C-alpha cells in the first residue's frame, strides 16, 4: 500500500473520531445537541440505550433510506457504511467518556463550547467527504439527497439537519413530556455547520488533497 493510500484511510478514521468528538462536545455544551447527534440523543433518553447504541440502529435506517433514494445508483461499497457506522457508534460513546470532565459554567462558556463543537464537526465532515472512502451513514443520506436533487452537499445539509431536529423535538415532547436535547444551540448548529464545511473546503482543500492524492 503506497503512502497516499495509507494516508487516505487513516485520515478517514480520524475524521470519524473528530466528528464524534464534536458531537459529544455539543452535548456537554448543554445548549441543545448538534443535529448529527440530536435525534440519537433524544432516542437514547427514550429507550435508555447509550447514544452509540442508538447510533447503530440509525445506521441501518440511513442505509435503507439511501438504497431507496438511489436504487441502482447506490454504490455497492457504500454497504460498508454498516462497518463504519459500528465504528462511529463506538467512537461516540468513547468520546462522551473523554469529554465527561468538561462542564462549562455560564452561558458564554456554553456558547463558546457549542461553537467550537460546530467547527470540530465541520472539520471532521470535510476530511470524511474528501477521502471519498465510505460515507458516514448520516452524511450518506445527505449525499443521496444531493444527487437526487442535483444540489451541493453543503446546500442540502442545513435542510436535512433541520428536519432531524424537528423530528427529535416532536419525539422528545411526545415520549418524554418535555423538550430534551433541542435548544438554540441545535438551531445554530443546523444553520452554520454546512457553511463552515464550505469555508474550510475553500481554505484547506489543497492541503488535504496533498496528503491523499
Query: Smallest Cα–Cα separation from 136: which of 187, 85, 185?
Result: 85
Query: Would you state the pLDDT for residue 68?
Result: 93
C-alpha cell at position 91: 467512537
Residues 36, 59: Cα–Cα separation, whole Å: 12
In angstroms, the Cα distances linking 57 to 10, 30, 132 are 25, 24, 23
Q: Hey, CA dihedral for 133, 136, 139, 144, is it positive or negative?
A: positive
Query: Would you state the pLDDT for residue 74?
Result: 86
Query: Would you state the pLDDT for residue 150?
Result: 86
**135 torsion bin: left (phi>0), alpha (psi -120 to 50), beta (else):** beta
pLDDT in tens, 148-173: 998 887 788 778 878 888 899 999 99
C-alpha cell at position 76: 455497492
Note down the domain range covering 189.
3-212
Query: Would you state the pLDDT for residue 161?
Result: 79
In angstroms, the Cα distances linking 155 to 56, 68, 122, 130, 145 are 26, 21, 14, 17, 11
Residues 184, 182: Cα–Cα separation, whole Å: 7
C-alpha cell at position 47: 429507550
pLDDT in tens, 55-72: 999 999 999 999 999 988
pLDDT, mean of each 10-residue run, the chain (213 residues) = 71 91 92 85 93 93 93 86 92 94 93 94 85 81 90 81 87 91 85 85 75 67
Total tally of structural domains belonging to the chain: 1
* Contact present, 95 and 54 (Cβ < 8 Å): no
Query: Would you state the pLDDT for residue 36?
Result: 78
pTM for this predicted structure: 0.82
Query: Would you state the pLDDT for residue 3?
Result: 66
Amino acid at each position: 500500500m503506497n503512502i497516499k493510500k495509507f494516508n487516505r484511510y487513516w485520515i478517514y478514521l480520524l475524521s470519524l473520531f473528530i466528528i464524534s468528538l464534536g458531537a459529544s462536545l455539543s452535548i456537554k455544551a448543554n445548549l441543545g445537541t448538534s443535529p448529527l447527534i440530536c435525534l440519537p440523543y433524544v432516542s437514547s433518553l427514550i429507550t435508555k440505550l447509550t447514544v452509540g447504541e442508538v447510533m447503530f440502529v440509525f445506521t441501518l435506517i440511513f442505509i435503507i433510506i439511501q438504497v431507496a433514494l438511489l436504487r441502482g445508483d447506490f454504490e455497492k461499497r457504500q454497504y460498508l457504511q454498516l462497518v463504519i457506522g459500528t465504528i462511529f457508534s463506538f467512537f461516540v460513546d468513547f468520546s462522551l467518556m473523554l469529554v465527561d470532565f468538561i462542564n462549562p459554567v455560564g452561558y458564554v462558556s456554553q456558547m463558546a463550547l457549542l461553537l467550537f463543537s460546530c467547527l470540530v464537526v465541520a472539520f471532521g465532515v470535510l476530511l470524511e467527504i474528501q477521502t471519498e472512502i465510505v460515507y458516514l451513514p448520516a452524511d450518506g443520506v445527505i449525499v443521496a439527497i444531493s444527487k437526487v436533487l442535483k444540489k451541493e452537499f453543503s446546500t442540502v445539509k442545513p435542510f436535512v439537519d433541520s428536519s432531524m431536529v424537528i423530528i427529535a423535538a416532536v419525539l422528545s415532547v411526545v415520549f418524554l413530556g418535555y423538550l430534551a436535547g433541542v435548544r438554540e444551540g441545535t438551531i445554530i448548529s443546523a444553520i452554520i455547520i454546512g457553511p463552515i464545511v464550505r469555508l474550510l473546503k475553500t481554505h484547506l482543500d489543497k492541503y488535504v488533497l496533498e496528503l491523499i492524492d
